[in-house]
Structure 1
Amino acid sequence: MTDPGLSAIMSERRHLINLAYRLLGSLAEAEDAVQETYARWYAMSRQQQDAVEHPGAWLTTVASRVCLDLLGSARARRERYVGEWIPEPLPEPTEWVGAAIDPADRVTLDESVNMAFLVVLESMTPAERVAFILHDVFRYPFAEISEITGRTPAACRQLASSARHRVRASQAPVAPTARQAGIVRDFKRAWEAKDIDALIGLLDPDATAIGDGGGVATAEPRPIEGGERIARYLVDLAGRAPSNLAFLARTVNGQPGLVAQYDGVTVAVYAFEVADDRITHIWATPNPEKLRPWTEPLGNG
C-alpha cells in the first residue's frame, strides 16, 4: 500500500528542481541540492516528520538553505573553473530526452530561466539571489524568506529590491520570439555559408560571445568582444569543422537557439540575446558535463 505522505512529499520534487535551478544556474547542482533536501527529510524520525505542519514549506526552506550554502561556496569553485563559466543550458520540455530524466524533474521554462536573466543572477550576492528568486519569481512573502536567509524581513525586501534594479538595468528591449527565431535562423544560414558580411550584419557592433568548455571541450578562454571579431572567429571555426557537423534550430532556456550535432550527438549549445534586431550576446556551451539533457539525438531540424 502506497504511503500517501510519501506521495505528497515526492510531489514537491518538480517545484524544488525548478527553484534550485534558478538559484544555482546548474541542473546538476540543483539535482544534488534536492537530493540533499530529501536526505534531510528522511533522516528525521517518523514522529519528527509528523510534527511538520506543512512538509512542502519545510522542503522549500531546506532546499533554499542548501542552495544558499552552495552559492556561498560557488565563488571559490568558479575561481578554479577552467575558462568562462556560464549557466547550464536547458532544452524545451518537449525536447528533453534520456530515460534517466523523469518528466516531473523538468524545469518549467519561462522568462526567469532565459540565459541573459541567469547571467545577471550570477552577478548577485547569494542572499540577493535567494531573496529575489523566492519573492519575485515564486512569490514567497518576505517573512518566510527571512527564516531562510537568517535576515530580517526588511533586509530581505532590500536585497530583493537591489537584485531587481540589477535585472532592470541589464535588460534590453526584448524582440518578439518569432522575430528572434528569424534572426537566429538567418545567423545559422550565414554561419553555415561562412558569409562573414551577413554575420557582421546580424551581430551588434558591440556584441559579446562567451564559450564554456569547462576545460574539457575546446572553447575560447576569454569572451570575444565586437561583432566583426565574432564573425571572423565563427567563419574560421566553420572552416575547421567536420563536414558532418550539423546546426539545428532548437529552443534553449525558453528562447530560440542553436544546437551543434556531430554524428547525431549534441556537442555544443548556443543561446542568444537579441535586441533591436541584432544579436548582442552569444553563449556557447561545448562542455559535455553541461550537456546531459542534450546528449541524445534530438532529431532533424
Structure 2
Amino acid sequence: MVAMYESELLAGRFEEKRPRLQAVAHRMLGSAEEAEDAVQEAWIRLQRADVAAVENLDAWLTTVVGRVCLDILRARTRREELFEELLDQHADPPPAAPADEAADPEQAAMLADSVGKALLVVLDTLEPDERLAFVLHDMFAVPFSDIAAVIERSPAATRQLASRARRRVQGASPLPDLRRQHKVVSAFLTAARSGEFDRLLALLAPDVAMRADATAVGIGAAQATHGAQGVARIFSGGAQGARLALVDGAVGAVWQAKSRTIVAFGFTLEDGRITAIELVGEPGRLEELDIVVLE
C-alpha cells in the first residue's frame, strides 16, 4: 500500500513537470512525437531511479530529457551522414522530383510539428551539442554547469558552444525574441489578474487592436476592440484562468478546461508593447495551432 501511494505521488509530481519537459524536448527535437517519446523515457528512468537521492527533481528531469534528446539528435545526424555516403556511392544522381513533390515529406512534417518554423530551420543547422547548449540555456535558463554534465564538457566549453550557436541563430534569421515576448506577455497577464489598469496601459500600444473569432465571441469575448483604454478595461481584473503558453512558437496564452484549450490568445509586439491581440476559439483553427503550455 505504501509503495503504491509513493508511486502515485511520484507520478503526480512528474505530471506537474511534464509541460516544461515537453517544451524543452520540443525545442530540442522539433517534433511533437519525438518530444513525447523523450519525456516518456524520462518517466521510465525516474521510476528506476533512487528518487530519495534526487535533491532537485526539476534539474534531474531536465538533465535526463536533455541526454535523451542529445542521443536522438546524434542518431539523426549519423543517419543523415550514412544516407549521404550511400548517395556518393552511386555514379548517377537520383532523378529530380517534380516541383510540387520536391519537399521531403518527413521534413515537411517536422516543420509542421515545430514550435516555430523559422527557429526550427535554423536550429537544424546546429550541431547536436550546440543545439542542446543553446536551447537549454537561452530558452529555459538551465545553468551551464548542469548542461556541461549532459554533454560531458566543461562549463566554459559549454558556454562557448551556446555562444557560437547564438551567433549562428541571430545571424541566420530575424527570429522572435522569445525572452522579450515572455517578459511582456507575462507582465500583461499579471497586471490583468491583479487589476493594475495603469500597468496594462503601459504595456499596450495606444492603437492596440483586439479581435476575436465567432466562437470566442460566442463564449463572451468582444468581436473587436480598439485602443489601449478599451482593451485595458476588458482585461483589468480578468484573465484569471489564462495560462502562459507557446502558440505556434510565439509567447501567448490559453484558456483551458480539463486540459483542453478553449481559447488561444495570440499577441503581436512592437518595441516592447502589445500592438494586437487575437482570440481564437474555433475548434478547427485551434487544432492547427501548436500549443505548449508553460505555466
Q: Which has the larger radius of gyration?
A: 2
Q: Greater share of helix residues, 1 or 2?
A: 2
TM-score norm. by structure 1 comes to 0.48
Question: TM-score normalized by structure 2?
Answer: 0.49
**Higher relative contact order by CA 8 Å / sep ≥ 6: 1 or 2?**
1
